[in-house]
A and B are shown apart, each in its own frame.
Chain A
Amino acid sequence: MAGAYDGRMPSPFDGTLIVMPAFNEEEAVGNVVREVLGTFPGIHCLVVDDGSSDATSAEAAQAGAIVASLPFNLGVGGAMRVGFKYALEHGYANVIQIDSDGQHDPVGVPALIEQLATHDLVLGARFAGEGEYSVRGPRRWAMLMLSGILSRLAGTRLTDTTSGFRASGPRAVRLFAAHYPAEYLGDTVESLVIASRASLTVSQVAVAMRPRAGGRPSHNPFKAAIYLGRAVMALFIALLRPPVILPSEASTR
């Protein structure tokens, strides 16, 4: 079967799979895929089409990505589960999640991979110095609270816990293929709780973020307050749940 190693020249990105969850991103996804594949020759890119009603799948496939299409929308968590399962089945060691809207600059990828040598889960953090990105009001309070509690849990300083730009090492891929949360905010917040409790090591590196290629981030204070509420709930429910244990290598292969 076509896998991570199919007789090409070896490259430092062999064994690394880029996973992009995409929902109605026909305008951006093609360029993001081309940029990633162009910047890192030999890297494999899986676009998980999360039940899009537009030409997302076709655009991604044309740009050279492997495309998995979900029959209906599951949210980022569900799409990432497909990515982790695919990585596990095809023998990829690392999974890097990148947004399909072009918000994440792929130049951050090597830094994430480098950090994977010593950690199981690496977050690309927006507020760690690089790039221009600012948030205010309840959304900022939510982020501060989340990073405070999650830093303590993970035993390391995390400043941007809701970042969707993250790298998972072999142990994290194995854990997440079986236990990645699919609820709203579960993919970012609860996944950190699950990883920390399964004694995976977490770390962050600074990455630059770009303004989104399509669409506009919301600055509605009412929506931000709801976001805060849901973040608090997601976090505390995650903490109430029994910890999951990292599945052994034999049981997943």
Chain B
Amino acid sequence: MTIATYLLGVFSALLTLGVVIEMLRRRRLRERHAVWWLLAGTLALLVGLFPDILGWAASLVGVAVPTNLIFFVSMAVLFLVSIQHSAELTDLETKTRVLAETAALQQLRIEELEKSIRKES
């Protein structure tokens, strides 16, 4: 490994972590959504700083080509984030639907109240 690739690994990990933390700071990202990104960024930084960890981890789980472990872990993280997003989307759809139902019922109630007030006056 050349010094250039070493620096590339470290800097991209730092950049990812930097973006996630900055978004958290500006409240553009909520903690529970950031957990996976923080985890992935920290892992990338560790492996970037100490490349030997990767070889050790790969031999530990029996992966012959260490790079494949990176691909596997990244895909797993993306997969989990994606499932989390689907779940959140379902949650939001349910909430929107209940709001729509409530809005329709309240609109109807307002109209009925207005009608009965007009009748009285």
Asked whether any CB of chain A lies closer than 8 Å to the CB of B116, the reply is yes
Asked whether any CB of chain A lies closer than 8 Å to the CB of B7, the reply is no
Minimal Cβ-Cβ distance residue in A for B93? A182
Q: How far is the CA of A14 from the CA of B108 in the complex (A)?
A: 20
Minimal Cβ-Cβ distance residue in B for A182? B97
Asked whether any CB of chain A lies closer than 8 Å to the CB of B87, the reply is no
Establish whether residues A71 and B100, one from each chain, have CB atoms under 8 Å apart when the complex forms.
yes
Known: A2-B116, A71-B103. A86 touches B108 (CB 8 A): yes
Establish whether residues B105 and A89, one from each chain, have CB atoms under 8 Å apart when the complex forms.
yes
Q: How many residues of B contact A (CB 8 A)?
A: 10
From A1, A66, A82, give the contact of B101 (CB < 8 A). Answer: A82
Question: Which chain A residues border B1 with CB–CB below 8 Å?
Answer: none
Question: Which chain B residues border A85 with CB–CB below 8 Å?
Answer: 101, 105
Establish whether residues B105 and A68, one from each chain, have CB atoms under 8 Å apart when the complex forms.
yes
Asked whether any CB of chain A lies closer than 8 Å to the CB of B68, the reply is no
Asked whether any CB of chain A lies closer than 8 Å to the CB of B52, the reply is no
Establish whether residues A68 and B108, one from each chain, have CB atoms under 8 Å apart when the complex forms.
yes
Establish whether residues A48 and B100, one from each chain, have CB atoms under 8 Å apart when the complex forms.
no
Establish whether residues B100 and A78, one from each chain, have CB atoms under 8 Å apart when the complex forms.
yes
Could you list which residues of chain A lie within 8 angstroms of chain B, going by C-beta atoms? Answer: 1-2, 48, 66-72, 74, 78, 81-82, 85-86, 89, 182
Could you list which residues of chain B lie within 8 angstroms of chain A, going by C-beta atoms? Answer: 97, 100-101, 103-105, 107-108, 112, 116
In the complex, the 7 A-B pairs of residues with the closest C-beta atoms, listed nearest first: A68-B108, A68-B104, A70-B104, A82-B101, A71-B100, A82-B104, A70-B100
